[in-house]
Amino acid sequence: MLPLSPDYDRAVALLRAGELVALPTETVYGLGADAANPAAVAKIFAAKGRPADHPLIVHISGHDAVDHWAEQVPAVAWELMESFWPGPLTLILKKQAWVPDAVTGGQDTVGLRVPGHPVALELLRRFAASFGKGAGEHAGIAAPSANRFGRISPTTAEHVREELGDRVSLILDGGPCKVGIESTIVDCSRGEPVVLRPGHIEPAHLAAVLGHQPLIETASGAPRVSGSLAAHYAPQTPMRLVAGERLLDFLNAQRHKGGRCGVIAHSQPPQAGLPHAWHLLPADPVGYAHGLYAALREMDHAGVDLIAVEALPDTPSWAAVADRLRRAVAGAGQS
C-alpha cells in the first residue's frame, strides 16, 4: 500500500505552470519538469547545481510516445522496450529535431524511459492527458535523480526533502523505491547497443533479448552520463572499501588511532563494542541495492569520521552496486 494518496491534480498543475515536482520511480526519486519546456527544465539544473551539459532522461507513459521524442528507432530498441518497460531501463535514441537542447545537453540523442512505479505512471498519464489530443498527448517529464549534483540519490520522499528542501514545489510520496539504484542505460543510437550505466537489468538479462552479450562502455570520455563520472553518489564522510576478511583488523587499527568508524557490511555481523555504527545489508545484490543509498545516508548522519564498506563479490550480478560504491568512495568527503 502507498503511504499517501498523491496529489496528482496539483502535480499536473505545477508541471503545466513550468514548476518542479519530485516523483517516485521504482529506481530512485526523480526531480521532474515538463520536458518540452526549456525554462522549466532549466530549473532542474538550478535546483540540483548540475552542469548544464549533462543530459536528462525523459520519462514517458508508454511505447506510443517514443516516436514523438525519437527518430530512426532501431528494431533492437523496440525489442528491449517490449521486454523491460515499464521498468528500470533507459534507452538512448536519436532525438527528434524539436526536442529542446536543455534536455539533451545539446546532443543529437535523447534518453527515454517508462518507469515501473504506479505513481510515476499515473502522473505521466494525467500530465499527458491534460494537453488533450495533439502533440501534447505524448508529453514527457524530464527527471534526473532528485539529489544535489554528485550526492546520494534519494530513495524515499524524506530523502528528497533533505536534499532539495523548498527548491521543489511538491514531492509526491510513493514510499521507498523498490530497486534503489538508477536505471540501466543502453545506447541504441549508434548501431550495436552499448551499456553506458549498469543497473538492476544486467548484461545477461539484455543478452537474453539481444541474442548475444551487449557491449559495455568502460572508457570515461565526455560526461554523457553523469553517473559515469569517477566521483558520484557520494556521502560527505570519507569512505573506504575493505575486504571482509580484513574488516575486523581494519576497525581495530582505526580504533587505536582514535577514529570513529561506521561500517556497511553484507556478510560480517555487527561486532559488539567495536565501531560506532554498523549497518548490515542483505548479502544478495538485489537486496543490497535496495538498501544501499539509505545506508550511506544513515552513516553520513551517524557522526563517524570514516565509513568502512565491506568489499563486494566480483561477479556480474554485483557489478551495478559495485559501480555505485566505487564512485561513492571516489567522491566521499569532498564537501
The binding site for Mg ion (CB under 5 A) comprises: 145
Q: Which three cell numbers stand for residue 49?
A: 547545481
| Near ligand TXA by CB under 6 A: residue from 180, 214, 227, 262 | 227
Nearer to ligand TXA, 170 or 311 (CB): 170
Q: In this structure, how many other beta carbons lie within 10 angstroms of the beta carbon of residue 108? A: 10
Four-CA torsion 171, 174, 176, 178, nearest 10 degrees? -130
Beta strands in the chain (DSSP E): 21-23, 30-34, 57-59, 89-94, 109-113, 141-142, 170-171, 184-187, 194-197, 215-216, 239-242, 261-265, 277-280, 306-310
**Nearest residue by C-beta to Mg ion?**
145
Verify binding: residue 100, ligand TXA, rule CB under 6 A.
no
- Of the pair 99, 263, the CB lying nearest ligand TXA is at 99
Residues between 174 and 213 with contacts to ligand TXA, criterion CB under 6 A: 182-183, 185, 196
> Which does residue 54 bind out of Mg ion, ligand TXA, none, counting CB within 5 to 8 angstroms by kind?
ligand TXA
With binding defined as CB under 6 A, does residue 37 bind ligand TXA? no
Contact 269, 280 (CB under 8 A): yes
Given ligand TXA, Mg ion, none, residue 224, with its beta carbon under 5 to 8 Å by kind, binds ligand TXA
DSSP 66: H
Go through 325-334 and write b for each residue having 16 or more CB atoms within 10 A of its CB, e for each that does not: bbbbbebbee
Query: Is residue 90 at the binding interface for ligand TXA, with CB under 6 A as the rule?
Result: yes
SS3 280: strand
How far apart, in whole angstroms, are the C-alpha atoms of residue 249 and residue 269?
15
- Find the binding residues for ligand TXA in span 266-305 (CB under 6 A): none
By Cβ distance, which residue is nearest to ligand TXA? 144
**Of residues 86 and 275, the one with the C-beta less far from ligand TXA:** 86
Residues making contact with ligand TXA (CB under 6 A): 25, 27-28, 30, 54-57, 88, 90, 92, 104, 107, 109-111, 113, 115, 143-145, 182-183, 185, 196, 224-227
